[in-house]
Amino acid sequence: MELERAIEDYTVHLAVERGYSAQTVRAYRSDLQALAGFARGRDKHTTSDITLDLLRDWLWTAAQEGRSKATLARRSASARGFTAWLTRTGNEAVDPALRLRSPKPDKTLPRVVNRSQMAGMLDALAAQAADGEPGAVRDQAVIELLYASGIRVSELTGLDVDDVDLERLTVRVLGKGSKERVVPFGVPARNALVGYIGTARRALAVPGSGPALFLGARGGRLGTRAVYDLVAGLLVEIPGGGPAGPHALRHTAATHLLDGGADLRAVQELLGHASLGTTQIYTHVSTERLKESYRIAHPRA
């Protein structure tokens, strides 16, 4: 089978049959197109040309180019998923990636904003929104909801107005794999949402806005890039390492819940993690915070 055609068929499979998000499908397509380009450079054009040696050479070349361990691990995972699909669908008799190894990505703890820093950020947003400027009111509601619920940025931007229940303080989100879940939020987030939906959203809306909850300056659905820029701009003034995007607020919400005594499985359900192991990274975060406090406070640390 022609390699480029197989890649397109596989990414359609991921989107339609597996229900992967558009962002995830783009990542798979990007990795596999890089593989196809590498194969073309060696006069390999079909799925039968994909061998274990070719895959190893591809990853080795990427490593020599300075690609990170995380990138190499992701590319390896993309290739394994692709070749496994080729075998399952009968396009190839043998899976060449069964013995493909990839470096384990470096373990880094997610960025977490402490409670006082988070309170200061939310207070600043409330002050900016006090004069009723629609964009500022929306931004306050966005950050309040991200922190209160721990939802992903893609889940937030995909929300429609009817997904929010202001009486029950819950939001219905469509997560990875098109799995729906209902997530609670608190009174401060509700108050911010009431202010946004009641006035600011109406000011931002245009005839083609549709049911989208959060709207951009031109009246269309607010994009993930705009939310990323918003969060990054807020975090730039706050000390701390790690990525400064919306996922930091998801990490922060989970860590604060566990610090407050929430059950790990409840946090797993709230975050929409398929595996409890994914959620357990936040217990490591809490442990590291405890160790840091101990090192600072204990005279014999």
In this prediction, what percent of the chain has a pLDDT beyond 90?
46
Q: What pLDDT is recorded for position 292?
A: 58
Q: For Cα atoms 49, 102, 77, give the angle at the middle one, nearest 5 degrees.
A: 65
Least confident of 18-32, 55-69, 101-115: 101-115
Note if 111 is an active site residue.
Answer: no
Active-site position among 190, 250, 251, 256: 250
Q: In order of start, what are the domains of the chain with their CATH numbers?
A: 3-88 (1.10.150), 115-296 (1.10.443.10)
Q: Tokens 């949402």 — which residue?
A: 193
pLDDT at residue 208 greater than cutoff 60: yes
pLDDT at residue 295 greater than cutoff 70: no
**Category of 43 on φ-ψ map: left (φ > 0), alpha (ψ -120 to 50) or beta:** left
Note if 282 is an active site residue.
Answer: yes
Q: Of 229, 210, 207, nearest to 221 (Cα)?
A: 210
Active-site position among 29, 181, 247, 289: 247
Active-site position among 20, 28, 196, 282: 282
Q: What pLDDT is recorded for position 107?
A: 57
Residue pLDDT, tens place only, 273-292: 766 666 666 665 555 554 55
What is the separation, in whole angstroms, between the first and last Cα of the chain? 63
Active-site position among 152, 190, 201, 256: 152
User: pLDDT-derived band of residue 245, with 50, 70 and 90 as boundaries?
Assistant: confident
Active-site position among 176, 181, 221, 289: 176
pLDDT at residue 256 greater than cutoff 80: yes
Note if 179 is an active site residue.
Answer: no
Active-site position among 75, 111, 251, 273: 273
This prediction's pTM: 0.62
Are 46 and 93 a contacting pair, CB within 8 Å? no
Residue scoring higher pLDDT (218 or 267): 218
Note if 250 is an active site residue.
Answer: yes
Note if 152 is an active site residue.
Answer: yes
Residue pLDDT, tens place only, 108-157: 556 788 888 899 999 999 999 999 999 999 999 999 999 998 888 989 99
